[in-house]
Amino acid sequence: MNNKRLWTLIALGLIGAFNLIFLWFSLFDLSSDEAYYWEWSRRPALCYFSKGPMVAYVIHISTYLFGHTAFAVRLPAVLLSLGTLFLSYMLSVRLFRSDLAAFISALMLAAAPMLNAGSTLMTIDVLMCFFSVLAIVLVWEALARQKPLLWLLAGVCIALAILSKFTAIVLVIGVLAFVVLSKRDRSLALKPFPYICCGIGLLAFLPIIQWNMAHHWVTFRLVAALGKIGSPGLIHLKHVPSFFLGQIVVMSPPILIAAPFGLWRCGEKAWKGDRDHLFLLCFALPVLLFYFLLSFHTEILPNWPVLGYFPAMVAAGAVIVERLGRWRDSAKARWMRAGIVFCIAFGLTICAVARFPSLLYKVGIPSTCLPTKRLEGWRELGERVSVVSAEMGRQGEVLILGDCYQTTSELAFYTKGHPVTYCAPQPGRRLSQYDFWPGCEDFSGKNAIYVGRIHGNVSPELKAAFESVVQDRPLEVVRGGRLIRSFSILRCYGFKGFPKDASEAKD
């Protein structure tokens, strides 16, 4: 093992160790999405309302082995994100045979705010990126070694990526595009292996289709709604600036400069017949170009294009090393080396400091401006509801109701004993997975605790559902001297059932 590879392993190992230590002390509560996915893991299914089942299965295995704790929920994220960085490193080494290029691309990815934060948050992007990059590596190995088994394994990884997040279907486009465009590999278009690989990947949609057939195609309707398919007007320029701003914030300016430059050089070399650069271009460009064009039609969440950055940064690392070699010991090379070191060190430092918000409060940054506020206060809510539940439980079983899926899932995780919780129906509430699980209709006469973010008068629907409703002392979550979240806690007695019109959630 050469020194550069050893230093890479040490650097990645230190990042992983830091994440594990941070995770063990669990400074932050689960995000609403993490708690929601944990709820899914308690009810394994072929598919769920808005996503495939992979995130639920992974959390189910982890919590089965290590218990229902925040550490167990997030442990796969740490391991898989570290694996993704290592796979990106290995892909770069295999393509360009440069440990330095691989080292630069891996560490720049590790320093990106979204990828760094995602390394300790159990999201579907962590799973999709791991299985997608693994699939890309396996496809390259299949091309290099000409072994059918590698095509099969790549197809399995594509399927697992699609079961993690549906947009991983772009991997199929990447495989077919490369086989068609690469002169050296075009003969594979007449062989079954690439099609078997893609076919295995597409088989992932079978359980998703089966579940949706039984649930009125709700997942597909949701995806169409997010993409505003069928909405009037094709182009809306107002979303384009927010798309770029979101990418700058979550990926960092250096990556937003390096990735496009790397892809541009990829395009130049691919046009001249360079197979390695064409390979990366086929997997990066469809993702990034698709979301860029879609931003002319609808709002794009910052994390959506994340998959395209991995092959793009592998290309960027190769371009940087190429420039350094061309400039040798000139001033340009020295400035570039200093800039790369600064960007990586600065990014990793900022990401590390951001995990300790108490330090940021001391320098005057208000807690209301920090994204970490979404990860705080839920444990306090669970403790309060546990106390109220124990008090009301002396009179019999107590239901726990939330006003939305976020509150409901956090209550399920942080209330003592991890009880079954219910998302209370109300007019206009957005549809969620809770609407496909058994509700609280059969608990006539029971008492309940309702937690919501309502203020002032109790909603008419809630009053109609119970014989009496008493407001408890509200819970206010304060961080850094500022209110970041508040909850109304209601003691509800004598459940009569929710009005029919209150049960009509919208897609």
- The two tokens of residue 314 are 């592998």
Phi first, then psi: give them for residue 129, nearest 5 degrees: -65, -40
> Using CA atoms, how far apart are residues 285 and 188, in angstroms rounded to an integer?
22
DSSP 178-192: HHHH-TTTGGGGGSS
Q: What is the DSSP letter of 474?
A: P
The helix/strand/coil state of 161 is helix
pLDDT of 433 reads 93
Burial per residue of 76-102, b for 16 or more beta-carbon CB atoms within 10 angstroms, e otherwise: bbbbbbbbbbbbbbbbbbebbebbbbb
Q: Which of 473, 382, 453, 377 is nearest to 419 (CA)?
A: 382
Whether the Cβ atoms of residue 178 and residue 279 lie closer than 8 Å to each other:
yes
Are the C-beta atoms of residues 424 and 498 closer than 8 Å to each other? yes
Name the residue with tokens 């790369």: 340
Those residues of the chain that have pLDDT short of 70 are: 1-2, 227-234, 236, 454-457, 501-507
Q: What is the pLDDT of residue 463?
A: 87
Q: Give residue 456's pLDDT.
A: 59
**Residue 501, SS3?**
helix
Alpha-carbon span 12 to 196, nearest angstrom: 34
Write the pLDDT tens digit of every residue in 145-199: 989 999 999 999 999 999 999 999 999 999 999 999 999 999 998 899 999 999 9
Q: What is the pLDDT of residue 506?
A: 57
Looking at residue 354, its pLDDT comes to 84
Neighbours of 203 (CB within 10 A): 14
Per-residue pLDDT, 65 = 97
Please state the pTM of the whole predicted model: 0.93
Residue 192, class by beta-carbon neighbours within 10 Å (0-12 exposed, 13-18 middle, 19+ buried)?
Answer: exposed
- pLDDT score at 328: 80
d(CA 207, CA 376): 36
Spatial distance between the Cα atoms of 87 and 157, rounded to a whole number of angstroms = 13
